[in-house]
Structure 1
């Protein structure tokens, strides 16, 4: 699972927030609307296309080549992506129990209650309902 740079993260956030697939131009416009409040930098559509190509190569984006312009969508949900990252980080530890203990020491009481509820439910290998 690849770590995301700032522009990659912005593009993925826009794709995760979208109702459906987006073209590179639609993504550029979305990113520019969000950036107006912060940097005011212009973003070229060719830059967006380059980043989309990288994200597709990483398996995070799916491109529909049957239409013009090509349309892009996230290959998985934001929750799935985050869970994969958490699993990867946990798997890279030499002491998983220690990592889990430190993580649990930092969660709020509400998050701890949610985790207890999830752990108490029967596991079917799928996502929570």
Structure 2
């Protein structure tokens, strides 16, 4: 059964999880490899998203400093600021920046790493493994 959601999405079945639509839009932009307008993003996504929904999601991602935007005709073209690994690193930095006891956060993080990740982190910190840019 088709149902229209308040977010302007018409599709079969269940609603998307919170943040899933932003993830889909971001993934579409990363796959494109070039800046896309809202109309172009809309065309790449499954389902029937309204244009205004796509614009809202792109605007939110831009406000979160995840996307850049440049004028293209009467619209903006959007592109990711970084790849998936870069976005994950930015989120980690934001979490760390929001805490007063950085040592405790980093200690708990390191304590929770598996042996392989711990060894990799040690190599990265000692300069033993080339850093991805």
- TM-score w.r.t. structure 1 length? 0.69
Aligned to 1:25: 39
Say which structure, 1 or 2, has more relative contact order (CA 8 Å, 6+ apart): 1
| Shift in CA distance, 42/104, structure 1 to aligned 2, threshold 3 Å | same
Superposition deviation, residue 109 in structure 1: 1.9
What is the CA–CA distance in structure 1 between the aligned matches of 2:60 and 2:93, rounded to whole Å? Answer: 23
What is the CA–CA distance in structure 1 between the aligned matches of 2:104 and 2:63, rounded to whole Å? Answer: 34
Superposition deviation, residue 120 in structure 1: 0.8
Is residue 114 of structure 2 the alignment partner of residue 128 of structure 1? no
Superposition deviation, residue 70 in structure 1: 4.0
Equivalenced residue count is 114
CA RMSD after TM alignment: 2.6
- TM-score w.r.t. structure 2 length? 0.67
Instruction: Provide Cα deviations, 1:67-88, integer angstroms capped at 9, x if missing partner.
Output: 4664221123332322222112
Is residue 54 of structure 2 the alignment partner of residue 45 of structure 1? no
Bigger strand share: 2
